[in-house]
Structure 1
Amino acid sequence: MEKSLLESRKKMIYEFMCSDLYVPMKIKELAVLMDVPRAEREDLEEVLSELMEEGKIEVSKRGKYSKAEGKFLRGTFTGNVRGFGFVTIEGEPEDIFIPEERINGAMHGDVVQVALLPGKAEAGKRREGAVIKILQRGVIQAVGTFQKSKNFGFVVPDNMKLGQDIFVPAERSMGAVDGHKVVVELTDYGSEKRKPEGKVVEIIGHINDPGTDIMSIVKGYDLPTEFPDKVLKQAINVGKPVSSADMAGRKDIRDWQMVTIDGEDAKDLDDAVSLTREGENYRLGVHIADVTNYVQEKSALDVEALKRGTSVYLVDRVIPMLPHHLSNGICSLNAGEDRLALSCIMVIDPKGNVIDHEIAETVVRVDRRMSYTSVRKILKDNDEKEREEYKEFVPMFEEMEKLAALLREKRRKRGSIDFDFPETKIILDRQGRPLEIKPYERNVATRIIEDFMLIANETVAQDFFWQELPFVYRTHDTPDPEKIQKLSLFINNFGYSIRISQDEIHPKELQKLLVKIEDTPEEALISRLTLRSMKQAKYTTENTGHFGLAAQYYCHFTSPIRRYPDLQIHRIIKETLRGRMNEKRISHYDKLLPEVAAQSSARERRAEEAERETEKLKKVQYMSERIGEEFEGVISSITSWGMYVELPNTVEGMVHVTNLQDDYYHYEEAAHEMVGETTGKRYKLGQKLRVVAASTDPLMRTIDFVLPEDANA
């Protein structure tokens, strides 16, 4: 439409919508009322779209237009390598799709104001929108590879969602050369005709230098690499040996038989366990390092811990929440050493019910540092040498196995969902090259500790909920009905069903589904889709329960060395135990905790993403060294563009549909199968498949497989 005509029609329609006579209406009603000929309906859509982009009008979920009352949708923009993007609105289950031509200069991570586009709100279709205004820039710095030209350079961002290279004038390049990994600070966000501009603020290293790859991810996620001097000094000053003054007023349980059970390479041993029998009941002690004794509220250590939120476990390093002087020293429950702890001591009956409990400040002395491997050898392998070495502890370990099974069965009965995906263990050489990748399986010992920590977390959460005191809970909301409906339709294709009542599902239904699919070809896919249909667990000040664990009360109490919410909870518990939780302190925590919960949830997500990225990178590097080698895997997912194949070591790659040479294949969505048009050959989920590693893309973190030549014969 001609610009002058467009402007006059915009003015006319906007004035009409501002009149007292106007009531919100759909585009068809508006066209009839304004006598717009059918042939010009598209022009009307264009006019409405322009007015929405300007923020003058808005559209309801039912597709009715009205003058904007300032109720624009506000959300976070997520870019896509193909040019379009999505806006996530907090509290809404579905993102809004933003076409490339409606991005309006938004970059990945920006907080934006968005308006829904006309004619895009039909039932069953994803909503489309236009970015009206950029409220806050999400990316201030980016990490990427420097490419040098004669008089300037470009940084190609590692984060493909940023979409554009960043122009760097020669005088702002810090002398970076081709192949340098750099941190670039954005000085200009560019426009439709101009690339973003920036200046290099740090050279991480050359792309081929050992460690540069992981450090680029560390910098890309803005993970802190060093502790400020003030924090390190404070850690040294407070990390003094436990004195008799420190022990005063505490429950002394140093004579209790007690062990830590951790991985062989663990250094921060923040939880110990004890177990005795009292008639038919068990007395289980979960003893957690009293980190708050050394990290005082508002101290430099505390401010830094809150800023970090959590320890981050990357494939080649740990970025701790607290300095090693504390986490591996006085706050580590090392065998034979007096340590301050916060203990949750529970009396549990033969049905797995906690019939009594005590939360107390204690002094402990761990008898032995056990590893998961040793405990497994004792309990499952009946290893004579191991049982002899730890003979005084064997009866306790056997009782622990029984109690853990009781607790697990009780959780199973109420509907707790157990996703048993193997974690990945990646072994690197000194240069950071991956030597071996294998699944890190759970065993009897890891399950014992998991079960004991879960029951302690539940017990503490329930105690403080009923005291009606400010607290930080670990909550997991009920899944969105739309996602559960989609899952229900999907599993119907495999002959499974789940019962949904009043738009809600009980976790027991999903648990039953996972039991039914156990050891079936579709187990991996349905398990993953079930997990994706659920919401993300988070920290909140309101106790709304934990859907996945089917628990009414849950918190994180057991890891104050590596998680800030646990540290915060310990402070609240200690103030309560000492009778100091008066109105003033309650008011203090009421104000403080919402920020702690939000910050901790955000930092947890950042850590998880960084951990995933480093794993994907090392898997790509591992397979890059094995191009041409043949592997046997399982089809884990099928899409219209190809089949994902997972190897036993957890590496996943794709066989692209264009690389299926023996026929023309198409994707049958209902059956989730790839079917050959001429041969009728079918590829199904869970099917074993031999594949050859064909290529890798370190930037996209992808692996491509092809089928061996004899498979296409």
Structure 2
Amino acid sequence: MTTLSLKDKIMAFMQRESYAPMTAEEMIFAIPVKEEPMHEFWDAIMELEKDGYVVKTRFDTYGLPEKMGLVAGRFQLSSKGFGFLIPDNKGTKPDVFIPPRKLHGAMNNDRVMARIDSHTAGRRPEGEIIRIIQRANIRVVGVFKRTMDFAFVIPDDKRIGSDIYILRKNFGGAANNQKVVVEITEWPTEEHNAERRSAEGRVVEVLGYVGDPGLEILSIIKQHDLPLDFPDNVKRAAARVPDEIREKDWQGREDRRDYPVVTVDSEDARDLDDAVYVRRLENGRYLLGVYIADVSYYVKAKTLLDQEAQERGTSVYLVDRVLPMLPQRLSNGICSLNEGVDRLVMSCEMEIEAETGRVAKYKIFPAVIHSHHRLSYNLVRAILEEGDKKTREDYADIVPMLEEMRELCRILQKKRARRGAIEFDLPEQKVILDDAGKPLEIKQR
């Protein structure tokens, strides 16, 4: 039996209504766990305590936090000095207000345990942090401010709660008013009578002087620990993926290359992962085809590429660059539905009734497409709303299809309105930079 299943077994036992705090030795005989090696039980109970799921009392007995007036969760500190504990099981428990005098060294995003001091009906409960379970801010980005023999780093994120104290031996070559990355070596103590009110740290990286071009973007990347590049083994795995579709890749796929499929994205988009096609059928319905890049064909489960994508979670779009989830060889190449090339996709083709917008039938299948045009939102607007003659002539082969798309869009919008859906018209802004990376203007997309 694994340690994980032992944890579940222990938690289930302690969550019984009849459970009363007991020692680990008593628990061994009460559960029982005789068939498991004893060291696995001790590992499991210590991990549960370390992670804040169980509490060890001064009598060496174990109990559940919620049965002892305690709550564990993520701490969010405001710039005004107070904070809130967001419980682990947020759906069933309210946030807990933590006043400044009861933080006891907790910093923003730390996982903590708090004691509930008061809970008045109709008001948010108030508590006091009694334990830091896991620190969140191992590294902090900020501005280096030096005196003669020591320095402070003022964090960019004001929710960190305090400046970071730096001894002279830990300056790391930093100069006054430089942006630096600091690794925290000593935390503000949790004890109620603490003398150390600031964290201590050492400079591990100098990013540049305040005001340097591109420094703010680099600071954001470092502050959120975003990866600037891919590991060499991931790059090698990406290099083994073919640049073009091979004949064997077509097997079992339907051919949609003769459909005038188009992509519609912003002008600066590089990874084009979806495409569309519409035509009116003889039965009066609309055929809507939605084609999604078949990334899973090239990125197999549990491979290096899959594990790296899982670690990153998403592509990150910054003002001047994109930090992609997959190497650009894939995200901008074989997995991007670029104009004028064949690509593998997963397809969903739907027949939609013109009168009601109801999907009469649909089919999901793997296919091959050939993107006929790479359109932008501004191009489509020029064709459909502004009626720009030159643009309509340049894209004459798909203007009728775009007009049918507009008709279908209006039908689906009416269906949404009948269903009571809310339309959020939130304009998206784009920051225009010069060659040095300084902002020139903010435009609406």
Q: For residue 238 of structure 1, give the secondary structure of its aligned residue in structure 2.
A: coil
Are 1:138 and 2:110 an aligned pair?
Answer: no
Residue of structure 1 equivalent to 2:109:
109
Q: For residue 204 of structure 1, give the secondary structure of its aligned residue in structure 2.
A: strand
Residue of structure 1 equivalent to 2:99:
99
Are 1:259 and 2:262 an aligned pair?
Answer: yes
The answer to whether the Cα contact below 8 Å between 1:55 and 1:132 also exists between their aligned partners in 2 is: no
Are 1:299 and 2:303 an aligned pair?
Answer: yes
Match of 1:193 among 167, 190, 195: 195
> Deviations for 1:327-366, whole angstroms, at most 9, x for unmatched residues?
1111111222111111111111111111111111101111
Distance between the aligned counterparts of 2:178 and 2:215, measured in 1?
A: 9
CA shift for structure 1 position 255: 1.2
The answer to whether the Cα contact below 8 Å between 1:55 and 1:115 also exists between their aligned partners in 2 is: no
Alignment of 1:518-667 (within 5 A): none
CA shift for structure 1 position 83: 2.2
Q: Which amino acid aligns with 1:263?
A: S
Are 1:237 and 2:240 an aligned pair?
Answer: yes
Residue of structure 1 equivalent to 2:425:
420
Are 1:227 and 2:221 an aligned pair?
Answer: no
Change (3 A) 1:325 1:428: same
Distance between the aligned counterparts of 2:170 and 2:304, measured in 1?
A: 34
Alignment of 1:154-165 (within 5 A): 154-165=152-163
Residue of structure 2 equivalent to 1:518:
none
Q: Which amino acid aligns with 1:408?
A: Q
Are 1:288 and 2:286 an aligned pair?
Answer: no
Residue of structure 1 equivalent to 2:344:
340
Alignment of 1:472-551 (within 5 A): none
Match of 1:179 among 172, 177, 185: 177
Q: Which amino acid aligns with 1:428?
A: L
Residue of structure 2 equivalent to 1:83:
81
Residue of structure 2 equivalent to 1:393:
398
Are 1:316 and 2:314 an aligned pair?
Answer: no
Q: Which amino acid aligns with 1:200?
A: V
CA shift for structure 1 position 126: 2.5
TM-score with structure 1 setting the length = 0.51
CA shift for structure 1 position 298: 1.3
Are 1:436 and 2:438 an aligned pair?
Answer: no
> Deviations for 1:553-596, whole angstroms, at most 9, x for unmatched residues?
xxxxxxxxxxxxxxxxxxxxxxxxxxxxxxxxxxxxxxxxxxxx
Distance between the aligned counterparts of 1:439 and 1:156, measured in 2?
A: 34
Change (3 A) 1:68 1:395: closer
Q: Which runs of 5+ in 2 are unaligned?
A: 1-19, 21-55, 59-64
Residue of structure 2 equivalent to 1:472:
none
Change (3 A) 1:55 1:427: farther
Task: Choose 353-362 or 87-96, whichever is displaced more.
Answer: 87-96
Distance between the aligned counterparts of 1:69 and 1:288, measured in 2?
A: 49
CA shift for structure 1 position 95: 2.2
The answer to whether the Cα contact below 8 Å between 2:346 and 2:364 also exists between their aligned partners in 1 is: yes
The answer to whether the Cα contact below 8 Å between 1:110 and 1:135 also exists between their aligned partners in 2 is: yes
Q: Which amino acid aligns with 2:388?
A: D
Q: For residue 416 of structure 1, give the secondary structure of its aligned residue in structure 2.
A: coil
Residue of structure 2 equivalent to 1:517:
none
Change (3 A) 1:292 1:135: same
> Deviations for 1:166-224, whole angstroms, at most 9, x for unmatched residues?
11122222111111111111111033321211111111111121111111111111111
Q: For residue 226 of structure 1, give the secondary structure of its aligned residue in structure 2.
A: coil
Q: For residue 143 of structure 2, give the secondary structure of its aligned residue in structure 1.
A: strand
CA shift for structure 1 position 396: 0.6
Alignment of 1:371-390 (within 5 A): 371-390=376-395
CA shift for structure 1 position 138: 1.6
Are 1:123 and 2:126 an aligned pair?
Answer: no
> Deviations for 1:14-69, whole angstroms, at most 9, x for unmatched residues?
xxxx9xxxxxxxxxxxxxxxxxxxxxxxxxxxxxxxxxxx989xxxxxxxxxx984
Q: Which amino acid aligns with 1:82?
A: K
> Deviations for 1:107-162, whole angstroms, at most 9, x for unmatched residues?
111111112113xx222322211112111112111111111222222111111111
CA shift for structure 1 position 292: 1.0
Residue of structure 1 equivalent to 2:374:
369
Distance between the aligned counterparts of 2:397 and 2:217, measured in 1?
A: 44
Residue of structure 1 equivalent to 2:3:
none
Alignment of 1:465-476 (within 5 A): none
Q: Which amino acid aligns with 1:129?
A: G
Match of 2:278 among 251, 256, 275: 275
The answer to whether the Cα contact below 8 Å between 2:243 and 2:333 also exists between their aligned partners in 1 is: no
The answer to whether the Cα contact below 8 Å between 2:106 and 2:188 also exists between their aligned partners in 1 is: no
Change (3 A) 1:193 1:80: farther
Distance between the aligned counterparts of 1:228 and 1:395, measured in 2?
A: 47
Residue of structure 1 equivalent to 2:358:
353
Runs of 4+ in 1 over 6 A off after TM superposition: none
The answer to whether the Cα contact below 8 Å between 1:114 and 1:133 also exists between their aligned partners in 2 is: yes
Change (3 A) 1:241 1:68: closer
Q: Which amino acid aligns with 2:195?
A: K
- The structure richer in helix per residue is 1
> Deviations for 1:58-104, whole angstroms, at most 9, x for unmatched residues?
xxxxxxxxx98446211111112332211112225742111111112
Residue identity over aligned pairs, in percent, reads 47
Q: For residue 121 of structure 2, give the secondary structure of its aligned residue in structure 1.
A: coil
Distance between the aligned counterparts of 1:352 and 1:170, measured in 2?
A: 70
TM-score with structure 2 setting the length = 0.81
Residue of structure 1 equivalent to 2:251:
248
Tell me how large the CA RMSD over aligned residues is: 2.0
Aligned residues: 377
Are 1:410 and 2:412 an aligned pair?
Answer: no
Residue of structure 2 equivalent to 1:676:
none
Q: For residue 401 of structure 1, give the secondary structure of its aligned residue in structure 2.
A: helix
